[in-house]
Copies of this chain bind each other. A is one copy, B any other.
Amino acid sequence: MVGGVSDEPGLRDRKKAATRAALSHAAWSIMVEDGLAAVSPESVAERVGVSSRTFRNYFASREEAIIDGWSRRHHALADRVRERPPAEPLWDSLVRVLPEAALEIIGSRDDIALMIRVITESPTLLAHNLLALQRTSGLLAEVVAERTGERRLVPHVVAGAVLAALASAVTYWATHDTDEPLPDLLRQCLEHLRAGLPVGPPTP
């Protein structure tokens, strides 16, 4: 017992994670190449080299498979924030971590633009996306609670608002033809949340 109480995954779990990732990746690729309709348990399983029954053991639907990779990267956001020095004020952590992390998570602008386009015509895919966001929001709320000591309403409001900002910034950046880099857009949104949401006087 050289390794002590190490909880390394072990080959079995690593393989599971690998096929899961391979299935999700394949599902995404097929969607990019031939559209959402072409993604099926059969097509995905064939590309990975497993049976379609195995696909169903991992995912309940094509949408779940397509989202899964994204989902896992999303969830990493909370850990990123948690890794910041505990003495750092929360907003500083958020403003430091999110704008940079956002880019890595969503990948290229083309990817996210395609995703948004597909999502707008597939409520099911949108729903799975929202589920992933919701889970991330829960994880982020935990971190906020740890950092601030607040235990009740505030962490969820903060987490929800921050993810709304993230979603808004990403959507705008991907769908509008702007030169501003994503991190800058997101930083602006977060600063708004920190300082109080600006809403101009009513237009006369």
Contact = CB atoms under 8 A, between A and B. Distances in A.
A150 interface: yes
A75 to B, nearest CB: 15
Copies of the polypeptide in the assembly = 2
A123 B124 CA distance: 12
A127 interface: yes
By secondary structure, the A interface counts as helix
Contacts of A72: none
A144 interface: yes
A108 interface: no
Given A152-B172, A199-B90, A160 B161 contact: yes
A202 B88 contact: yes
A197 interface: yes
Contacts of A126: 131, 134
Interface string A170-198: 01100010000000010011001111111
A57 interface: no
Q: How large is the interface on A (under 10, 10 to 19, 20 to 34, 35 or more residues)?
A: 35 or more
Interface of A: 86-91, 123, 126-128, 130-131, 134, 137, 144, 147-150, 152-154, 156-161, 163-165, 167-169, 171-172, 176, 185, 188-189, 192-203
Nearest to A194: B196
Given A88-B202, A147-B199, A194-B196, 18 more contacts: A89-B201, A89-B202, A123-B131, A127-B130, A127-B131, A130-B130, A147-B203, A149-B200, A153-B188, A156-B164, A156-B171, A157-B189, A160-B164, A163-B164, A164-B164, A193-B196, A194-B197, A195-B196
